[in-house]
Amino acid sequence: MELSFLAKSSLLVAVPGTAQYAGQLARYVGREWEDTRHAYVASKEPYKVDSDSDDGRRLSKLMRRESSLLPGDQATAEYFGLPFVQHQNVEGEWVPSAPIAREVRAAKKGND
Amino acid sequence: MPANVAVTGYASDYRTPSIGIELVFAQGENISGAGTREILVVAPKSSAGTWTAGTVYGPIKAEQDVITGGGVGSPAHRMAQKIMQANKLATIYVLVVAETSGGSPVKATGTLAWGGTATSSFNYTFSVGDEDFSVYIKSGDAAATVGAAIKATVNGRLSLPFTDEGTGATNTLTNKLAGTRGGTATWSPNRIVAPAPGNGLTLTASAAIGIATAGADGSTTEASNVTAALQSVEGRHFYYYVYDDGNNATALAAIKSHLANKALPRYGRRSYLITGHNGTLAAATTIANGLNYERQEIAFQPMGDATPDHLAAQLVATEQLVRDADPANGLINYSGPDWNIRAARTQYWPDEDDINDAIAAGLSCVASKVGGTYLVMSITTRSKDGSGTYADFRAAESHRISVGDACAQDLTNKMAGKLGKGFIAHPKGKDGLPNPNAKIPPNCVTDFTLKPTFTDSISEWAKSGWTQRVSDSQNSLLVVKSPVNAGRLEASLSIYARDNLSQVTVRMAESSAA
């Protein structure tokens, strides 16, 4: 299955199998380098990987051992036996979506 | 001035010829302090300690001195104790940091909540951090009796960083010092491993100290106290600094700033910090990335039971011991007789991918094996380029910093004897080049006569095994009398720290005919 991950708080998880040659930009799961903030901020799109691939197995192991990533969708959360919590990207960091904000958005949608 | 070894009854004015031996017991470790690279333990004392924050004490010769001054079980005591156990040559000083205060500082806690009544007699074993505890539980013991037995066992071990302040059937393991250093929801320096007891008893245990109650700093944080304390050692050189809370990014940044300033050429007090981390690979990577500094190293046991204070103290003790003899030692797969770090639980033993990621992130990984642990290799946090953006391994192997510092110190010692001599322009020959046969007045030197000090040093460093590529180093050497400051000799050169063999790869084909 396809696993989907979001970067969690300030934690840095190296992208599996990435060569760290001199001069190469380091790569972290669900993050991208942003020059203006001089930091690896959370990408807006989840990091996706096949659970049966080498990279998928590596991230599954890290997820089970350290829980250093957030499940990016319901299926991934279920795969790891975790509750799925909707998150929103606020200035380069994923934070739990406020239930009230979700309800307001849902209500707005209903009114449209 | 060497430390005074006091013996009861032998005041300095006592003159009677005699041999007085004072035999004392239950005193902890004693060390000689003969090591040349001095260690400064930067750590808070507990309220029981008599020392004053912002003051340096030492050289420490006896563990009892740190117990009295820093408080038993304080970070200052525990790190000094560990260093003394591992390295009898260590020269140790302690810079006392005040405990966090003001506002509402909180001591981290973890609990063991017992229920039921024992239906048979058995020994129950659990661990907190790298300490094992065993209590005998007798058939018929109620939960409160078990709790009381554990409380007595825990509080009987004075060197622990926590006490049991629980009552009845609940053991409340409480960090001796307030602050996040004791543990939070995301930082577990003291993990609790308490299996289900069975035999009629139930147990609900926190996974670590800091889970039941998260530690919190007061309005005056430990990081600000570290910053303040460091000001008192700006004028004094210590080679190694050791600070235990490897998750305190603010304190580590303050130490980085302090070290960077002291290492400036004008001050020349080149130093090196070692700290400890036993959290997740991702959390340690974040800390290392934030530091990205060649004079800071993190002893890292992923999800380990070894505590950060013991990880940091063990590594500094080992580096001091090994690199006093050989500054270029890379500590590769190191598990010498001084090395004593508890193995992680099997499920947390780092595999080759974990180790490689740790190295690439600038972490000195402590890996586990059957029967113990070993240091994979000594790595600085400087895994990226100066901007902190791109991979750059050139200053990651810590022996390169150690060698650079050793060479710089050697040159400093040699040049110190030259200062004050007359400094004249070297006479030139008809060809316009320095005349090697020119007669130099007594008590005078020239850029030309000083050059051999450098070339000879380069040869000596290579002969000692510190460096390599002697010709390249010597050919890179430029020594001139400054055109803008008449009393200054200016020199530049390249040095090449030796490489250490860390991998062997072989492609071997079994080539029998079919």
Half-sphere exposure in the Cβ direction for B401 (13 Å, CA): 24
| Residue pairs spanning A and B at CB distance below 8 A | 68
Could you say which of A9, A25, A69 has the minimum Cβ distance to residue B390? A25
Sorting pLDDT into bands at 50, 70 and 90, what band is B177?
very high
- Position B21 scores a pLDDT of 79
A77/A89 Cα distance (integer angstroms):
18
B391 contacts on A by Cβ (under 8 Å): 20-26
pLDDT tens digit string along A15-34? 998 877 888 888 999 999 99
The residue among B281, B300, B351, B355 with the most chain A CBs within 10 A of its CB, best to mutate, is B281
How far B336 CA lies from chain A's nearest CA (Å)?
A: 30
Nearest CA in chain B to A10: B286
Sorting pLDDT into bands at 50, 70 and 90, what band is B27?
low
Q: Is the CB of residue A37 less than 8 Å from the CB of residue A92?
A: yes
Q: Closest Cα partner for B375 from B328, B312, B325, B324?
A: B312
pLDDT tens digit string along B329-344? 999 999 999 999 999 9
SS3 category, B251? helix
Amino acid at B195: P
- Position B13 scores a pLDDT of 83
A40 contacts on B by Cβ (under 8 Å): 289
SS3 category, B421? coil
Which alpha helices (DSSP H) does B362-501 contain, by range?
A: 398-416, 447-463, 470-476
- Put simply, whether B391 touches A (Cβ < 8 Å) is yes
| DSSP assignment of B425-458 | PPPB-TTSSB-TTPPPPTTEE-HHHHHHHHHHHH
Nearest CA in chain A to B348: A65
- Position A111 scores a pLDDT of 56
Nearest CA in chain A to B345: A65
B393/B155 Cα distance (integer angstroms):
46
SS3 content of chain A, % helix, strand, coil (to 5): 30, 30, 45
- Three-class SS string for B31-98? CCCCCCCCEEEEEECCCCCCCCCCCEEEEECEHHHHHHHHCCCCHHHHHHHHHHHHCCCCCEEEEEEC
Rg of chain A over all Cα atoms, to the nearest angstrom = 16
Sorting pLDDT into bands at 50, 70 and 90, what band is A109?
low
How far B132 CA lies from chain A's nearest CA (Å)?
A: 23
Mean pLDDT, all residues of chain B: 94
B109/B163 Cα distance (integer angstroms):
10
Q: Which residue has the higher pLDDT, B3 or B129?
A: B129
Q: Which residue has the higher pLDDT, B420 or B32?
A: B420
Structure tokens at B69: 């001054």
pLDDT tens digit string along B247-303? 999 999 999 999 999 999 999 999 999 999 999 999 999 999 999 999 999 999 999
- Position A21 scores a pLDDT of 82
- Position A20 scores a pLDDT of 76
How far A7 CA lies from chain B's nearest CA (Å)?
A: 10
- Position B1 scores a pLDDT of 46
Nearest CA in chain A to B288: A12
- Position B345 scores a pLDDT of 95
Find the chain A residues whose C-beta atoms sit closer than 8 A to any C-beta of B: 8-14, 16, 20-26, 33, 38, 40, 58, 62, 65-69
Task: Reply yes or no on whether the pLDDT at A5 is more than 60.
Answer: yes
The answer to whether the Cβ–Cβ distance between B390 and A26 falls below 8 Å is yes
B7/B86 Cα distance (integer angstroms):
25
Q: Is the CB of residue B177 less than 8 Å from the CB of residue B99?
A: yes
pLDDT tens digit string along B191-200? 999 999 999 9
pLDDT tens digit string along B62-118? 999 999 999 999 999 999 999 999 999 999 999 999 999 999 999 999 999 999 999
Q: Which residue has the higher pLDDT, B467 or A105?
A: B467
- Position A19 scores a pLDDT of 74
Nearest CA in chain B to A57: B353
Which residues does residue B116 pair with via DSSP β-bridges, in sequence order? B201
Please give the angle made by the CA atoms of B206, B76 and B250, to the nearest 5 degrees.
70
The residue among A11, A33, A60, A93 with the most chain B CBs within 10 A of its CB, best to mutate, is A11
A21 contacts on B by Cβ (under 8 Å): 391
Task: Pick the range with the lowest mean pLDDT from B3-7, B282-286, B410-414.
Answer: B3-7
Q: Is the CB of residue B344 less than 8 Å from the CB of residue B306?
A: yes
B42/B24 Cα distance (integer angstroms):
28
B310/B75 Cα distance (integer angstroms):
9
- Position B322 scores a pLDDT of 96
pLDDT tens digit string along B226-248? 999 999 999 999 999 999 999 99
- Put simply, whether B355 touches A (Cβ < 8 Å) is no
Task: Reply yes or no on whether the pLDDT at B3 is more than 60.
Answer: no
Burial of B141 (0-12, 13-18, 19+ CB in 10 A): buried
Could you say which of A10, A65, A69 has the minimum Cβ distance to residue B286? A10
Structure tokens at B44: 């808070």
Q: Which residue has the higher pLDDT, B15 or A51?
A: A51
B348 contacts on A by Cβ (under 8 Å): 65
ipTM, interface predicted TM-score of the complex: 0.87
State the average pLDDT over residues B130-139. 97
Q: Is the CB of residue B402 less than 8 Å from the CB of residue B327?
A: yes
The answer to whether the Cβ–Cβ distance between A14 and B389 falls below 8 Å is no
The answer to whether the Cβ–Cβ distance between A65 and B347 falls below 8 Å is yes
Contacts with A, B 294-353, CB within 8 Å? 302-303, 347-348, 353
State the average pLDDT over residues B432-451. 93
Q: Is the CB of residue B272 less than 8 Å from the CB of residue B240?
A: yes
The residue among B248, B289, B349 with the most chain A CBs within 10 A of its CB, best to mutate, is B289
Q: What is the DSSP letter of A46?
A: P
Structure tokens at B290: 């934030």
How far B287 CA lies from chain A's nearest CA (Å)?
A: 9
Could you say which of B285, B348, B391 has the minimum Cβ distance to residue A12? B285
B10/B192 Cα distance (integer angstroms):
48
Task: Reply yes or no on whether the pLDDT at B56 is more than 50.
Answer: yes
The answer to whether the Cβ–Cβ distance between B285 and A11 falls below 8 Å is yes
B150/B133 Cα distance (integer angstroms):
8
How far B474 CA lies from chain A's nearest CA (Å)?
A: 27
- Position B4 scores a pLDDT of 67
Q: Closest Cα partner for B174 from B48, B98, B73?
A: B73
Q: Which residue has the higher pLDDT, B62 or B19?
A: B62
Sorting pLDDT into bands at 50, 70 and 90, what band is A107?
low
The answer to whether the Cβ–Cβ distance between A62 and B388 falls below 8 Å is no
The answer to whether the Cβ–Cβ distance between B282 and A33 falls below 8 Å is no
- Position B88 scores a pLDDT of 93
